[in-house]
Amino acid sequence: MNGLLAIIKAQMQLGASVKERQDFRYLYTDPPISFVEEYPEIPEPVGKPSPTLLAAEWVRGDLHSEDMPAIAIELLESGLDTPAIRRLAGEMHVASSADVEPIISRMFRELAIPYPISESQAFLIYSRQVAREVIHGKRNAWAAASHLAKGTWPRHREIQEIRACSELLDALDWNAVNRGTLPELTAELIEVFARLGANAD
């Protein structure tokens, strides 16, 4: 019972904190709010360039084949240096992903990054990064929820946290603002991102 009361109290405090800082007029465009004090256990988002994120973005199709030589140069400039990175950085004519897939696969292996990975794994890595950016005040929470639930994850709603984002988005309307329930909805959303951001590799 004491544990349940503590959870309820924490939710009320987070809701009050959100209400004080949230601008209802620009819900999707407000500057991000940091929730590190409420969730100090959530790791920081990884910095870029991150080989793990690159692997996820490559599998998701966010990176184009012609982008990869420039990304390899960026990796070299960041201090990561392997034979495959050097080879990729020197590619002058890349017409398709098939042209660079063998080099990219070797590059990830040389960097000790598990590869190939499934599409579901790639989406999970990406969404965890987004969640950590929300908690650490680098992304607007509601814009991030819409991006994941409606743009990024339409085929991956078996993930509990993504379903929760979708349900909270469905519950969000101007009536919620007028009824004063928006801070509670936002507090629930932040808890969802905290759970997602806590996922380990």
Q: What is the mean pLDDT of residues 1-9?
A: 46
At 160, the pLDDT band (50, 70, 90 cuts) reads confident
* In the chain, % of residues over pLDDT 90: 56
Half-sphere exposure of 79 (CA within 13 A, CB side): 2
The tens digit of pLDDT for each residue in 43-99 reads 999 988 899 999 999 998 889 999 999 999 999 999 999 999 999 999 988 888 888
In this prediction, residue 5 carries a pLDDT of: 43
For the chain, what are the domain ranges?
15-45+118-197, 51-110
Q: What is the pTM of this model?
A: 0.80
Mean pLDDT of the chain: 85
Angle subtended at Cα 33 by Cα 30 and Cα 39, rounded to the nearest 5 degrees: 155
At 180, the pLDDT band (50, 70, 90 cuts) reads low
In this prediction, residue 48 carries a pLDDT of: 82
Q: What is the mean pLDDT of residues 129-139?
A: 97
Longest dimension (CA), the chain: 65
In this prediction, residue 49 carries a pLDDT of: 87
In this prediction, residue 24 carries a pLDDT of: 57
Angle subtended at Cα 158 by Cα 28 and Cα 143, rounded to the nearest 5 degrees: 5
Q: CA 161 to CA 192: how far, in whole Å?
A: 6
Confirm if 132 and 197 have CB atoms less than 8 A apart: yes
Half-sphere exposure of 7 (CA within 13 A, CB side): 6
In this prediction, residue 7 carries a pLDDT of: 45
